Structure 1
Amino acid sequence: MNIYTIGFTKKNAETFFKFLKESNVKTLIDVRLNNLSQLAGFAKRDDLKFFLNELCGADYVHSPELAPTKDILNAYKKGDMPWETYEDKFLNLMSQRNIEKNVTPALLDHGCFLCSEHEPHLCHRRLVVEYLNEHSDLNLKVKHLF
């Protein structure tokens, strides 16, 4: 099953939506804790819903259960927690939440996880895909769009 990931930073709207359209993304799965931030520009929840439908014929789903807690995220952003600790805490959180039991194949097929980070290597969207591949039989083939 094909799955994509994308971050909205360091991209203008044209590039962002072009990536999604060319990849035939059917559902953008927003894995951000806060999807209403003024800093998000075109990637705010209501704007995304509109643009996705109009430009890509895609749906929008907010999945905060696939996001870290505010405490984990803030500690990492402030530099109080190294990436390795953040990764460990987030993987444990996904396990506690049993996300593999709540994420359906229909949602993920040609879906795309959205977060803010430009590249996936230091972003939780990559960890979500890796966790699902390890704890389910979904066999997700990931392509990071950046």
Structure 2
Amino acid sequence: MELPNTNERVAINTSEKVNNDIQMYIQNSIYFYRRNPQLIEQRLDELDKEWDIERVLETNASSLIVASSALGFIASKKFFFIPFVVGTFLLQHALQGWCPPLPILRRLGYRTTSEIQEEREALQNIIKGIRHVTRN
């Protein structure tokens, strides 16, 4: 079994419509900030704080593992099955780029690091272009 490229694994496991919606969001953002360059620094700060899909998945998975493990000790050993399932899904995501919550989170607009970086670089290029023009 050949594993997908790290930078592409989430996108290839996301519906074409959702990928297109995310790309449209990026393009609309670039269009907006090209016309409002005074707001770019603020947007770059927002991008620094944006949680990528990996961070969201890891946080949700670890929260479920901790909570269900505690319940396994306190309430019922049956709760120990949840960390097993969550760990399996997390492993599947790490290897293949897919896990059950991925489609939902992507539809909610969570982006990959590459997608966030794509917007960041485009905005930084706008700033560089403005600085170049004002120097000349």
Fold agreement, TM-score > 0.5: no
Structure label with greater radius of gyration: 2
Q: Which of the pair has the greater relative contact order for Cα pairs under 8 Å at 6+ separation?
A: 1
More helix, by proportion: 2
TM-score (structure 1 length as normaliser):
0.27
More strand, by proportion: 1
